[in-house]
């Protein structure tokens, strides 16, 4: 392998805010309504995501006339529609939900305002694109669509004109078109309506393409913004290819390519980009030895296969038993590990293949999905069996939390909705389950659940595991996985999420600092207080840096428990 091969992934790659907003809306509708959900045209220009949405009973139609059910839900997609069409569908016997991108709405309002003042509208964009068709509806019949400066020159003389851009238009083309419009308009209003995410994506693409031997553009072949990115790359890079999936990459693309840049359209999820990155590394021979490749794959299997999670749960149990002053029991360490392994593995097995970004996950949850589920059931049964030997109170509570965790992704009996209908439900349920197995059960067995030390350990474990689950949710959201508000990060938003994580850090640190000052297990409290620095560093890393791919993120998150266990052992 060449030591000089360098692969860079665009920081701006992944879903744009408008696409994320539209997907979040339809997912929430799917969770809270039993009605069939339809989108007026494909929600986004990405076949793989559309297939995933179909599995959730979300279907695309070209016209409302295709919908036969009464009171069905019809979603206006991110591109928007003409106002006349919106008025017609709102008069039908349908529940209409508007998921138009806020930035597209800004362009619609810009056109409407100027049209009411007598301005003709020049739209720089693709004539047949859904967004442009929608924008034309706001021009009051005085609209023109052009693809660049040459078409502007062919327009008739306009006394008053407002020139706008399709939100994903190329910046240079719009600037040139605006300059040309000055020659055919008596009065010209220039409204640069290219959205900021597009500007950032294009700026980064220009910067890296100039210095790249190969640029890989990932996105739907019918995606306008992806096509524009590819056009930019073709002009600037030595070689550029446009692909939809990683299996379209060929070894010959990489011949003589030392610097490789990967970028993607606004409708391409990050997990698809991860697949492309992995395949590109394999074909390009990015500087890794065959041994390192094997080690990396083995580690992915360890993390993906929930083994590392099981070790993390056992480590947290060790810490809690130390806090409680209970003798360390291997039975509880094993029980907690099996419990965490079972639920983690079972929930992973429910993930669809489209959301499985690397070979390790493909192997475990696509090729061997049945075996993975069987391993989850067996390990769960063993955990419950161990709990039965520790008394009926431990057994019943363990059985409850394990059953709740196993049923979480599915419909509950007797017509109840999914647990996932409740905001942050997944993070709360996970934290409660771990807090019981890692802290409450050992305390109950050792001397009673009402002891102050047990209550402290339960509270400590709950907050740590809640933090872990929230950080997992941040990682999944930044990988553009199809997740909803069962994830605290999705339910609360970025500012409140990081405020909550900071508050948890301060609370945990204050507790440990108080214990140390009060002379209650001062050496243990001091050691765990030192371990909280890793928590702080992890939180700051997630906030200020690009979120790493899932295996790395999960390794970093679960390592906090191993560090705390090591410090507790040393104390």
- pLDDT tens for residues 464-518? 999 999 998 888 877 766 666 778 888 888 899 999 999 999 999 998 888 877 7
| Rounded Cα distance, 442 and 337, in Å | 14
- Residues 34-55, mean pLDDT to the nearest whole number: 83
Confidence of residue 359 (pLDDT cuts 50, 70, 90): low
Residue 136 backbone phi and psi in degrees, to 5: -60, -25
Q: Which of 131, 204, 324, 486 is catalytic?
A: 131
- Residues 417-440, mean pLDDT to the nearest whole number: 80
| Rounded Cα distance, 274 and 300, in Å | 14
User: Two tokens at 544?
Assistant: 């200020």
**Where exactly does CATH 3.40.1010.20 map onto the chain?**
6-11+198-283, 103-194
Q: Express each pLDDT in 80-122 by its tens digit.
A: 999 999 999 999 989 999 999 999 999 999 999 999 999 999 9
| Rounded Cα distance, 49 and 402, in Å | 31
Q: Express each pLDDT in 313-357 by its tens digit.
A: 999 999 999 988 878 888 899 999 999 999 888 777 665 444 445
> Residues with Cβ < 8 Å from 353, sequence gap 6 or more?
362, 365, 366
Q: pTM value?
A: 0.74
Which fold would CATH assign to domain 297-570? Farnesyl Diphosphate Synthase (1.10.600)
CATH class, domain 103-194, is alpha beta
CATH of domain 17-100: 3.40.50.11270
131 classed as catalytic: yes
Contact (Cβ atoms closer than 8 angstroms) between residue 133 and residue 85: no
- Residues 516-536, mean pLDDT to the nearest whole number: 85
Q: Express each pLDDT in 64-76 by its tens digit.
A: 989 988 888 999 9
**Quick one: which of 13, 39, 46 has its CA closest to 25?**
39
Most confident of 3-17, 353-367, 547-561: 547-561
Q: Express each pLDDT in 175-200 by its tens digit.
A: 999 999 999 999 999 999 999 988 98
**Where exactly does CATH 1.10.600 map onto the chain?**
297-570
How confident is the model at residue 551, as a pLDDT?
Answer: 82
More confident residue, 247 or 132: 132
CATH class, domain 6-11+198-283, is alpha beta
- Residues 241-256, mean pLDDT to the nearest whole number: 90
| Rounded Cα distance, 163 and 125, in Å | 11
Sign of CA dihedral 329, 334, 337, 339: negative
56 CB burial (10 A radius; 0-12, 13-18, 19+): middle
| Rounded Cα distance, 73 and 69, in Å | 9
């Amino acid at each position: 392998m060449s030591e000089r091969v360098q692969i860079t992934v665009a920081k701006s790659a992944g879903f744009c805010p408008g696409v994320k907003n539209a997907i979040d809306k339809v997912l929430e509708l799917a969770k809270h309504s039993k009605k069939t959900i339809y989108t007026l045209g494909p929600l986004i220009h990405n076949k793989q995501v559309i297939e995933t949405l179909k599995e959730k009973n979300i279907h695309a139609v070209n016209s409302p006339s295709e919908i036969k059910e009464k009171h069905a839900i019809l979603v206006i997609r991110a591109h928007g529609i003409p106002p006349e069409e919106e008025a017609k569908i709102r008069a039908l016997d349908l529940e209409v939900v508007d998921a138009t991108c806020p930035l597209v709405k800004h362009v619609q309002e810009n056109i409407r305002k100027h049209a009411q003042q007598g301005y003709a509208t020049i739209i720089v964009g693709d004539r047949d694109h859904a967004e442009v068709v929608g924008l034309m509806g706001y021009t009051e019949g005085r609209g023109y669509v052009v693809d660049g400066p040459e078409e502007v020159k062919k327009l008739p003389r306009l006394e008053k004109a407002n020139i706008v851009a399709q939100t994903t238009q190329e910046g240079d083309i719009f600037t040139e078109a605006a300059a040309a419009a000055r020659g055919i308009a008596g009065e010209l209003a220039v409204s640069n309506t290219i959205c900021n995410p597009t500007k950032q994506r294009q700026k980064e693409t220009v910067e890296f393409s100039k210095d790249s031997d190969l640029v890989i553009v990932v996105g739907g072949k019918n995606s306008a913004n992806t096509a524009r990115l590819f056009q930019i790359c073709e002009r600037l890079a030595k070689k550029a290819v446009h692909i939809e999936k990683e299996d379209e990459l060929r070894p010959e693309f990489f011949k003589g390519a030392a610097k490789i840049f990967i970028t993607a359209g606004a409708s391409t999820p990050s997990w698809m980009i991860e697949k492309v990155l992995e395949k590109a590394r394999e074909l390009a021979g990015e500087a890794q030895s065959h041994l390192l490749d094997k080690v990396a794959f083995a580690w992915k299997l360890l993390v993906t296969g929930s083994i590392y999670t099981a070790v993390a749960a056992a480590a947290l149990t060790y810490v809690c038993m130390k806090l409680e002053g209970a003798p360390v029991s291997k039975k509880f360490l094993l029980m907690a590990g099996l419990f965490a392994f079972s639920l983690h593995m079972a929930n992973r097995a429910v993930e669809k293949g489209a959301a499985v970004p690397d070979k390790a996950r493909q192997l475990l949850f696509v090729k061997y999905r049945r075996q993975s589920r069987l391993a989850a059931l067996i390990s769960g049964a063993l955990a419950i069996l161990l709990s039965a030997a520790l008394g009926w109170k431990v057994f019943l509570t363990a059985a409850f939390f394990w059953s709740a965790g196993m049923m979480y992704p599915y419909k509950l009996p007797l017509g109840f909705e999914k647990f996932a209908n409740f905001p942050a439900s997944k993070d709360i349920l996970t934290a409660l389950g771990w807090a019981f197995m890692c802290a409450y059960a050992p305390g109950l067995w050792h001397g009673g659940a009402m002891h102050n030390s047990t209550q402290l350990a339960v509270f400590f474990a709950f907050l740590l595991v809640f933090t872990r689950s929230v950080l997992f949710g941040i990682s999944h959201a930044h990988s553009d996985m199809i997740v909803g508000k069962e994830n605290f990060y999705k339910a609360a938003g970025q500012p409140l999420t990081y405020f909550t994580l900071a508050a948890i850090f301060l609370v945990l640190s204050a507790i440990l600092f108080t214990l140390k000052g009060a002379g209650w297990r001062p050496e243990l409290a001091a050691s765990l207080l030192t371990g909280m620095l890793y928590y702080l560093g992890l939180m700051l890393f997630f906030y200020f840096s690009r979120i790493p791919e899932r295996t790395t993120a999960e390794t970093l998150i679960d390592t906090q428990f191993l560090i705390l266990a090591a410090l507790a052992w040393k104390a």
